[in-house]
Amino acid sequence: MTLAFEDFAGQSVHIARLREDFAAGNNVHAYLFAGPRGTGKRSVARLCAMTALCRGKDKPCGVCGPCRRALSDTHPDIHTVLPPKDKKTVGVDAMREVIAQVGVRSFEDGAKAVIFPRAETLTPAAQNALLKTLEEPPDGTVFFLCTDQPSALLRTVVSRCRVVRFHPLSTGEAAARLVSLGETPQRAREKARMAEGCVGQALAIDDARLALRRQVTEEVFSVHAPDDALPLLSAYREDRERQEQAMDVIEDAVRDALLAQAGAASLDEAGYAPELSAYARAVPLRETLALQGEIVRARRMLGSNVAFASALEIVLLKIAEEYQRWPW
Ligand SMILES: [Zn+2]
């Protein structure tokens, strides 16, 4: 796998500066990388650690021993700390353990890095234990706290970190990046739209999810009369996971239909069935807003444990009603 700072230039204005600082040894000892999921925070943290550990001339060279170990996630001086499989948080014991590990001499006699890919999972006690270390950092150790929820971190911890913000790419840029990683142009555009420019999220979208997006919008926006709703409701009745995915698809579809109707974005190559575009052309925007209101109502019903069939029914009946007035 290759990994380069340039790949992330669009996601933070600080990428070039990070590279320079780590290559020259001018980095600080704690960074907070904040931004939505899938914007490259963890990858850039790995690159920074790799640069600090690189023995090549033009750092990170990507070919020296430390670089290769960093790229294959086997470098003993790069610690990545995530919640254990059966837990949702990183507790104080795990934090003490990693602090003890970086307190001893590094394996390769160089820098050491600790990456928290989901820093919001650190418990307050774990954060307080980390805070003591950040106040008196061990020589040559750098901590990376990556999170999409910076408000979950103690203010005292944040104040010890240099904050670097990460942003999604435009969908065009994200699609180009996906193509460069081997995706076909059409799927790249659909996934980039679906992930709203967050490349990491787009990479996690499999073909089954793309197919579901198309299928659900085809089924739902083909409801032309209340009777059309029945087979659909019974098809979804048994499958809880599919129900939730379907509601997510419908919510995205209606939001994107609104954007298209307002002239803000096209529905082309967004991965939906043509029935959604036909709907968006035929129905006035105010009715799509009303449909969105029904979706909010359906979501609320699901939150209070009402069966999916009746929550979805609200949405489908609204679509049937609109079809009667503005057939598409
Ligand atoms: Zn190197």
Asked if the model's pLDDT at residue 1 lies above 60, the reply is: no
Strands 78-80 and 162-165: unpaired
**Chain mean pLDDT for the chain:** 92
Ligand 1 mean position, distance from CA 53 (Å): 7
Is the overall model pTM greater than 0.75, yes or no?
yes
What is the per-residue DSSP string for 229-251? HHHHHHHHHT-HHHHHHHHHHHH
Domains 5-165 and 207-325 share a fold: no
Ligand 1 mean position, distance from CA 64 (Å): 4
Find the mean pLDDT for residues 34-62. Answer: 95
CA atoms within 13 A on the CB side of 26: 7
Asked if the model's pLDDT at residue 163 lies above 70, the reply is: yes
CA distance 170 to 39: 11
What is the gyration radius of the CA atoms in the chain, in angstroms? 24
Task: Please tell us whether the domain made up of 207-325 is placed in CATH 1.20.272.
Answer: yes
CA distance 139 to 79: 16
pLDDT for residue 105: 65
Task: Give the total residue count for the chain.
Answer: 328
Q: Are 38 and 200 in contact (CB under 8 A)?
A: yes
160's tokens: 């010890």
pLDDT digits (tens, 9 = 90+) for 230-257: 888 888 887 878 888 899 999 999 999 9
Whole-number Cα distances in Å, 46 to 42, 80, 184: 6, 9, 27
pLDDT for residue 109: 65
pLDDT for residue 239: 80
Ligand 1 mean position, distance from CA 204 (Å): 29
pLDDT digits (tens, 9 = 90+) for 30-43: 999 999 999 999 99
Ligand 1 mean position, distance from CA 56 (Å): 4
pLDDT for residue 241: 82
pLDDT for residue 260: 94
Q: Are 40 and 169 in contact (CB under 8 A)?
A: no
Asked if the model's pLDDT at residue 47 lies above 80, the reply is: yes
CA distance 246 to 226: 19
CA distance 166 to 34: 6
Strand extents, DSSP E, 53-206: 78-80, 112-116, 141-147, 162-165
Find the mean pLDDT for residues 88-95. Answer: 95
Ligand 1 mean position, distance from CA 52 (Å): 9
Domain boundaries, the chain: 5-165, 171-205, 207-325
Superfamily of domain 5-165: P-loop containing nucleotide triphosphate hydrolases (3.40.50.300)
Q: Report the percentage of the chain scoring pLDDT > 70.
A: 98
pLDDT digits (tens, 9 = 90+) for 262-310: 998 889 889 999 999 999 999 999 999 999 999 999 989 888 878 888 8
Query: What is the SS3 assignment for 38?
Result: coil
